[in-house]
Structure 1
Amino acid sequence: MKNSIKMLIAIVAVSLQISTLQAQSKINNTGVYLTEQDYKAGKLSYVLAAGDKMHLNDFLDGKNVSLTYQGKNIKLAKSEIFGYREGNHDFRFYQNEAYKVLDTAGFLLYSKNELAQQGKGPKPVEEYFYSVSTDKPVLSLTLQNIYKSFPAENGFRYGVQSNFHQDADLIIFDNVNKQYEIKFLYMEYKHNANAQHASI
């Protein structure tokens, strides 16, 4: 009996270690999402190991991602792949630009560093974007764009008008609930719309 309990404890401990290692390796992987379906499934291609490298060629609007993968040089057109993962962040390519995925609940929020004139010279400023889904265009996160992008979702649009007064308000993050306020508003609208539909 004691041996079987010890064996069970050992199996549980090993299982926990393996699942922790798998979770850590998934989080810290760097690789390429070839398609939208790969991104949704979390399936990376060209997962980089020690000695492998990825160059995004952002300078002068580079159109390719260059990889040194298992000793081979590989070029992938940004227009033909969905995006990539670096560290624990996902990025989507849209018109050869990489956008960091911030949130995917309901619709996607992105950020991107862009140069803006500040003081004596240009400095990187974080700008915010969104897309209604992964197969839709990436647009600047503005009140006007949000209003136009959700024409059939009146409750959400009216909520945006009531709760957000300038574009910068759209990216307010609620640290208590750990979510963007616009996402809370959207998910609340969807929940209420579904509840109303179910009661009919």
Structure 2
Amino acid sequence: MKNSIKVLIAAMVICVQGTRLQAQSTNKTTGIYITEQDFKTGKLSYTLGAGDKLLLNEFLNGKNITIISQGQKTKLAKSQMFGYCQNGQSYRFYRGEAYCVLDTAGFILYSCEQLIPQGKGLKPVEKYFYSVNITAPVLSLTMANIDESFAGETGFRYSVNSLFEQDGNLVTYDKANRQYMIKYLYQEYKHNAAAQHAAL
């Protein structure tokens, strides 16, 4: 019972701190993407200015976000919007959780901080996810999921399986090329497939 209370308190502290940071760090590049098309075109609704606040209400998987603009509160259901942009960084809502959009070339790569049991409490750990397109389900970035999602793209799957030994390596970032290696493999696969098709 005591451990359960400690876990609950730890989760509350983390969420409160996150909400404070989000409330304080808004600028003109903060707003809401209502639809997938809005995200693709960079169109923001409810754009926030200085002094405005965006509250994500993440504690206990809150179903709404709250926008405080010029003293007025507006509540929006997470299920009714694609996501949001905060300080130039885009996020997608999926099943009530916000996923940070890392890369959109070819398929979408995300990260999400999740609380993982460790020792006697919970520790926030960054996990990685993907979706095959902007409307597809968000899945854990694992070798098994990549094999299933890209079953028809054999060259890409073979490249992934030969280069990466385990799930944790799938998010390897090449600083010299400023690119995730899995994205490079996918782009190479698409380029080679297009070249072969053109040669036929």
TM range (shorter): 0.7 to 0.9
Residue pairs, 1:97-136, within 5 angstroms: 97-136=97-136
Determine the C-alpha separation between the residues in 1 that align with 2:63 and 2:73. Answer: 16
Determine the C-alpha separation between the residues in 1 that align with 2:70 and 2:131. Answer: 35
Q: Does structure 1 retain, via aligned residues, the 8 Å contact 2:90–2:101?
A: yes
CA deviations over 1:149-173 (Å, ceiling 9, x no partner): 0111010011111111100010000
Q: Could you tell me which runs of 5 or more consecutive residues in structure 2 were left unpaired when the two chains were aligned.
A: 1-26
Determine the C-alpha separation between the residues in 1 that align with 2:51 and 2:187. Answer: 43
Instruction: Report the counterpart of residue 68 of structure 2 in structure 1.
Output: 68
Instruction: Report the counterpart of residue 42 of structure 1 in structure 2.
Output: 42
Determine the C-alpha separation between the residues in 2 that align with 1:180 and 1:121. Answer: 32
Determine the C-alpha separation between the residues in 2 that align with 1:180 and 1:35. Answer: 26
Q: Find out whether 1:94 has 2:94 as its counterpart.
A: yes
Determine the C-alpha separation between the residues in 1 that align with 2:181 and 2:49. Answer: 38
Amino acid paired to 1:101:
V
Q: Could you tell me which runs of 5 or more consecutive residues in structure 1 were left unpaired when the two chains were aligned.
A: 1-26
- What's the TM-score, normalizing by structure 2? 0.84
Amino acid paired to 1:122:
L
Q: Does structure 1 retain, via aligned residues, the 8 Å contact 2:28–2:49?
A: no
Amino acid paired to 1:157:
R
Instruction: Report the counterpart of residue 164 of structure 1 in structure 2.
Output: 164
Instruction: Report the counterpart of residue 148 of structure 1 in structure 2.
Output: 148
CA deviations over 1:73-110 (Å, ceiling 9, x no partner): 11111011000001121000001100000000000000
SS at match of 1:90: strand
Instruction: Report the counterpart of residue 175 of structure 1 in structure 2.
Output: 175
How far 1:52 moved relative to its partner?
1.3
CA deviations over 1:3-49 (Å, ceiling 9, x no partner): xxxxxxxxxxxxxxxxxxxxxxxx96110001100000001111101
Larger RCO (CA within 8 A; separation ≥ 6): 2
Aligned residues: 174
State the Cα RMSD in Å.
1.2
CA separation of 1:196/1:28 partners in 2, compared to 1, >3 Å: closer, same or farther? farther
Paired-residue identity, %: 60
- What's the TM-score, normalizing by structure 1? 0.84
SS at match of 1:76: strand
